[in-house]
Amino acid sequence: MIAYVFPGQGSQHKGMGANLFEAFPELVAKADEILGYSLHELCLQDPKDRLNLTQFTQPALFVVNALHYYQKCRQQEAPPQFVAGHSLGEYNALLAAEAFDFETGLRLVKKRGELMGRMAGGGMAAVVGLERHKLMRVLEGEGARDVDIANENAPSQLVISGPLERIEGLVAPMEAAGARRCLVLKVSAAFHSRYMAEAAEEFGQFLRGWRFQSPKIETLANVSGRPYAGDIHENLARQLREPVLWTETIRYLLARGISQIVEVGPGQVLTSLFYKIKREAEPLDLSAETDPLSKGKVPSPSVESKEAVSVDPERGATTSRRGADSPTPPPTSLVETSGAVKTSGPGSGLGPESLGSEAFRQAHGVRYAYMAGSMFRGISSPDMVIRMAKAGLLCCLGTRGSSIETIDAALTRIGKALGTAKNYGVNLFADIEDPDLEMALVDLYLRHDVRTIEAAAFMRIQPALVWFRFKGAHRAREGRPHTPRRLIAKVSRPEVAEAFMSPAPEKLLESLVQGGRLTREEAAIARTLPVADDICVTADCGGHTDRGSITTLLPAILRLRDAQCRNHGYASPIRIGAAGGIGTPEAAAVAFLMGADFVVTGSINQCTPEAAICDQVKDMLQGLQVQDTAYAPADDLFELGTQVQVVKRSVFFPARANKLYELFRHCGSLDDIDSDTRELLARKFFNEDLASVWTRVCDALARRRPSEVDRIGRNPKHKMAAVFKAYLDRAAQWAIQGEPGQKVNYQIYCGSAMGAFNSHVKGGPLEDWRHRHVDALAELIMQGAAETIVDRFQQLMPR
């Protein structure tokens, strides 16, 4: 079950609606006619700095919210069972529920904005980290009987409203009582309080001239947190002077079985609040309730007339039916919004949804500039991908080491669980021994309509990458190149990053065209765009690593990005992320402060209920400290001496793997190894003699690459490497499966971020991995990063 929620004042920003105005020219023209000014100019350019003035903000946001909604209707997305909006956003909810038409809604909002914009003399403050009963105790202790609660945005996030001098005087007492922040908002009046009574009465008189239909989708009212069951006129008038009960609204939705919300409009503030309320409060108990508004039975969506009737006091009654140019709905400071509080001080107004790149969040359809990276052999499982996607977060399915059949089944399961949602990614790992496998995987991803891949371990641009990235590329209506698919390249070296930041090589493009994989138009567009639109700078991390430092790598890649964008004249900058060592809020905060557009976590997600690895390994990971990792040779690049970072506590794997690499370096063949060492390897490492290991290797190669058996067998050095790599491969399988008696041989990819995270959550509810759901880790990292940045700014500010 889904609810659509519409944001209110505070979510506006310059540039909102940029891709929507041209899609709905008739509606935009009608809005300009009603308002008497150009919305396109106001929202995209704001030449007179009026976008943040209430009388302009509210109509602009109503229109942009409406266009976002109509766009969803055109795309035939799943219809909602409920709609709700935060203050101003409630008008968009009623519009979606067909209580009135677009023109009527805009005229109402225009009048509302004018009335609220005329009010003066009051103030508001956001109180973060103080629950209602504690806040009320402060008000009583300070004798602040002239202050009202204006917004209940979350159990620990409230807004107070009253005389400005009084509000300013409450900052210190609120913080002394335990509030993390008490920030005076830059507003002109005490909205949603008794001080709006005059405006509410005038607006109520204005509303009497209009007639509305019963909502056709269950619509929740701000003043009650329950569905409309009575007079729309009364509720909209009351809304000006009464608090926004957003916590109550979300708890009601949770009680009615809502598992997902879709925020329809600019930003992700309400989405962030949804998950915050889920963490801090239980769903309402509705068993004893009969009627939310009029003491009758809980209402169902109306199925009355499909015509929206409005009465304009100047023009008389009109009945609006949808014409050919009207969108078709689906078939069945923050004062008015919430979340990060926007004020004027450095670091203030910062919430988790504000960190990193807005373009990243929009491109991937997620709430945060955050990604849970892939883990090999499917450890980042379909369960993990589905849970993250449903939480509005990005996660990549682990595919390296998995068969095509297994990956196919995983993608089928993800597709069934997520429907049309595409806010997830899939790993594509470089395979220097079998490049045909890369092409086969991309063919599979295209058949499943995967929109995002995470490219890992590529040292140069391969045909499979370009094929995926530019398949379906076309020019949008305004002539700008558009690619429906995204490529996130994980790199640890500047020269590799530069290749991904450049257009695809000409020879490669031509070969893809000649092979029928790209059209001429797709190749032409590829010549104007970088191979990757997201680059993830990977420092010292679990698994494959160059042991780099994020504090040296990230600034260098950012400068390289800027130079490449200038040199190639890209219209949109390439986004740069940070990975490796991101296991605490402080680490994420550092990455964002250095300029990262997004952050990527890895090791910590392995110790979650959703990770496809045995419980024994999760118990081991939960107990790690930052010093409990070591380096060992990588199975896929063994001959080159490439290393991976793995767990060393309670296992012998790192020492044994490094022993094998030393033997490989100093011996010409398996026959050169002395008999005692061969016996040790058979007994402690392989549990069988080396000849039997070679037989198993040949059997496996014969199934995958028959021609390789003779080639490798003829070269004693290659044969030795193949046998030794079999130990590394089995050690990884033993760890995933929890093979009895093989704990000392477990190969567990892991970075020091795991130990840092364990230290951070020690003594709290997330100390036990069984409570560490992957989306909860994302919330903890991002929320904590925002708070860390604000706290550091406040400490640095002169007193």
Query: What's residue 59's pLDDT?
Result: 96
Does residue 336 lie in a domain region?
Answer: no
What gap in Å lies between CA 612 and CA 600, rounded to an integer?
19
Same domain, 712 and 651: yes
Percent of the chain with pLDDT over 90: 70
The whole-angstrom separation of Cα 768 and Cα 791 is 28
Residue 524 pLDDT exceeds 60: yes
Please check whether residues 316 and 362 belong to one and the same domain. no
Task: For residue 582, give the nearest of 555, 559, 556, 603 by alpha carbon.
Answer: 603
d(CA 764, CA 557): 37
Clarify whether residues 540 and 664 are in a common domain.
no
Grade residue 564 by pLDDT with cuts at 50, 70 and 90.
very high
Catalytic position from the list 40, 68, 86, 192: 192
The residue out of 320, 336, 360 marking a domain boundary is: 320
What are 356's two structure tokens? 């990193």
326 is catalytic: no
Contact 473, 483 (CB under 8 A): yes
Print the domain residue range for 654.
624-747
Cβ(746)–Cβ(630) below 8 Å: no
Place of tokens 């009207």: 326
pLDDT tens, residue by residue, 173-222: 999 999 988 988 878 889 999 999 999 999 999 999 899 999 999 999 99
* pLDDT grade for 787, boundaries at 50, 70 and 90: confident
- Is residue 420 domain-shared with residue 459, that is, in the same domain? yes
Q: Tokens 């973060």 — which residue?
A: 128
* Residue 767: inside a domain: no
Determine the average pLDDT of the residues in 62-78.
89
CATH number for the domain harbouring residue 19: 3.40.366.10
- In this structure, what token pair is assigned to residue 41? 């100019």
Say if residue 607 is in the same domain as residue 640: no
3-state helix, strand, coil in the chain (%, to 5): 45, 15, 40
Q: Averaged over 483-495, what is the pLDDT?
A: 95
pLDDT tens per residue, range 706-721: 878 888 889 999 999 9
Q: Are 372 and 384 in contact (CB under 8 A)?
A: yes
Lowest mean pLDDT, pick from 7-16, 137-146, 575-584: 7-16
Q: Is the pLDDT of residue 310 over 70?
A: no
What's the number of domains the chain is made of?
3
Q: Per-residue pLDDT tens for 652-706?
A: 999 999 999 999 999 999 999 999 999 999 999 999 999 999 999 999 888 877 8
pLDDT digits (tens, 9 = 90+) for 589-637: 999 999 999 999 999 999 999 999 999 999 999 999 999 999 999 988 8
Q: Which helix (H) or strand (E) holds 417?
A: helix 404-418
The pLDDT of residue 319: 32
What is the pLDDT at residue 279? 80
Residues 363 and 480 placed together within one structural domain of the fold: yes
Q: Is residue 578 pLDDT above 50, yes or no?
A: yes
Q: Residue 14 has what pLDDT?
A: 84
d(Cα 131, Cα 179) in Å, to the nearest integer?
9
pLDDT at 62: 97
Cα–Cα distance between 455 and 425 in angstroms, integer? 10
**Do residue 468 and residue 503 come from a single domain?**
yes
- For 56-70, 326-340, 433-447, which range has the lowest pLDDT when averaged over its residues? 326-340
Contact 751, 549 (CB under 8 A): no
| Contact by Cβ (8 Å): 131, 103 | no
Q: Please state, as a whole number, how many other Cβ atoms lie within 10 Å of the Cβ of residue 169.
A: 13
Residues 609 and 630 in one domain: no
Domain-located, residue 152: no
Q: What is the pLDDT of residues 753-786, one digit of tens each?
A: 999 999 999 987 789 999 899 998 998 999 899 8
Chosen domain end from 299, 320, 341: 320
Rounded Cα distance between 620 and 284, Å, is: 38
Q: What is the pLDDT of residue 798?
A: 62
Cα–Cα distance measured from residue 162 to residue 169, given in angstroms and rounded to the nearest whole number = 11
Instruction: Give the residue, 637 or 551, on which the prediction is more confident.
Output: 551
| Contact assessment for residue 276 and residue 128, using Cβ atoms and an 8 Å cutoff | no
- Residue 400, domain CATH: 3.20.20.70
**669 and 725 share one domain:** yes
pLDDT at 749 over 90: yes
**pLDDT higher than threshold 70 for residue 305:** no
Shared-domain flag, residues 641 and 606: no
CA neighbor of 467 nearest in space, from 448, 489, 445, 482: 445
97-106, 223-232, 464-473, 675-684, range with the lowest pLDDT: 223-232
Task: Decide if 374 contacts 399 (C-beta within 8 A).
Answer: yes
Which pLDDT does position 797 carry in this prediction?
A: 65
Report the pLDDT value the prediction gives residue 290, as an integer from 0 to 100. 58
* In-domain check, residue 551: yes
pLDDT band at 504 (very low <50, low <70, confident <90, very high): very high
Q: Are residues 417 and 531 in the same domain?
A: yes
Q: For residues 248-260, b (16+ Cβ closer than 10 Å) or e, as one string?
A: bbbbbbbebebeb
Does pTM top 0.85 for this prediction?
Answer: no
pLDDT averaged over every residue in the chain: 88
CA distances (Å), origin 9, targets 18, 198, 770: 18, 21, 39
Query: What pLDDT is recorded for position 730?
Result: 94
Q: Which of 747, 777, 793 finishes a domain? A: 747
Q: Within this chain, do residues 251 and 280 fall inside the same structural domain, yes or no?
A: yes
Give residue 346's pLDDT. 39
Determine the distance from the C-alpha atom of residue 138 to the mean position of all C-alpha atoms in its chain, rounded to a whole number: 36
Please give the structure tokens belonging to residue 424. 């997830």
Active site residue 482: no
Q: Is 782 domain-assigned?
A: no
What is the average per-residue pLDDT within 728-744? 94
Residue 570 lies in a domain: yes
Mean predicted confidence (pLDDT) in 293-299: 41
- pLDDT digits 0-9 by tens, 148-170: 999 999 999 999 999 999 999 99
Residue 35 within any structural domain of the chain: yes
What pLDDT was estimated at residue 304?
31
pLDDT for residue 273 is more than 90: no
Phi, psi of 27 (to 5 degrees): -65, -40
Residue 581 lies in a domain: yes
